[in-house]
Amino acid sequence: MRSGDTVLSNISSSPAPSREQLLSRQELIISKTDQKGIVTYANRTFMKISGYREDQIIGCPHNFIRHPDMPRTCFKLLWDTIQTGNEFFAYVINRCNNGDFYWVLANITPDYSASGELLGYYSVRRAPTREAINKIIPIYQKMLEIEQQSSADTGMQRAQHYLIEQIAHTNLSYQEFILNLDQGEC
């Protein structure tokens, strides 16, 4: 992991500038949560990039690292998807303990016991390509703008509609769109 020189001040609503922390392509951030999204496991890479100790992470809602520039609509889509037993992919900007930030390509899947009982959720995050980040930023900027112009529920509905419109011209599903961005195909 290394510090990047890129500051996404064009999307940041926070007054103090922050630095982007970069994952190497070989690093994976892994965490597990219970059914309500409370962290039950975090690997060393998660602790290293976020700047939080294990005792500061375990037992907290996973959204404690949510960056204010991340559209809430994406998390609604996440929960709607994983609660139906499906996996979910998304580009996510997270906030570090010191105010810095980092981007990930997240894959979240339900975690089941051997008998099929839902235990919680398992998340593996890796470094996204810069090209994918540059393509998703304007979409997220517009989604945030839409969310902020309306009430919470209406704003998220409108932002989701906007996201669907952006993907429609590609003839891909949401998941395919996200994965193709990382491969430079959208």
173: nearest Cα among 89, 109, 93: 89
- At residue 10 the predicted structure's pLDDT band, cuts being 50, 70 and 90, is very low
Q: What is the pTM of this model?
A: 0.87
Domains of the chain: 2-6+19-182 (3.30.450.20)
Residue 5 has pLDDT above 70, yes or no: no
